[in-house]
Every structure is written in C-alpha cells, then in structure tokens.
Amino acid sequence: MDIRDVTRKFGNKYNDGMKDMIDYAIDKQYITKQEGKRLKRKYLHH
C-alpha cells in the first residue's frame, strides 16, 4: 500500500503519520529533501 492508496481509502486520517514517515526517510537519506517536499505537496494537502 502506498501513500495514494492510504489517502484514497482513509482520506486525511493518517496524514500526520505519513508526514512523519516522509521526514524519517529524509533524515535517513532514503529520499532527498526535494523528493520529500514533492511527496508532501502532492499527497498531504489538508
């Protein structure tokens, strides 16, 4: 299940958790800051 699937199924219910997940991935350098910013902008709008 990816971010899009979670959003479709649960709406904004897990946005805080997904934001934390993206921030963690940035901190561990699994993704770049630019990629994280794009993901947040695309999927975590309130």
pLDDT digits (tens, 9 = 90+) for 24-45: 999 999 999 999 999 999 988 7
Q: What tokens appear for 31 in the block?
A: 């993704």
What are the sequence ranges of the domains in the chain?
3-43
Between the CA of residue 42 and those of 1, 21, what are the distances in Å?
A: 17, 15
Residue 46 has pLDDT above 80, yes or no: no
Res 18 pLDDT > 90: yes
pTM score: 0.84
CA distance 7 to 3: 6
Q: What is the pLDDT of residue 37?
A: 96
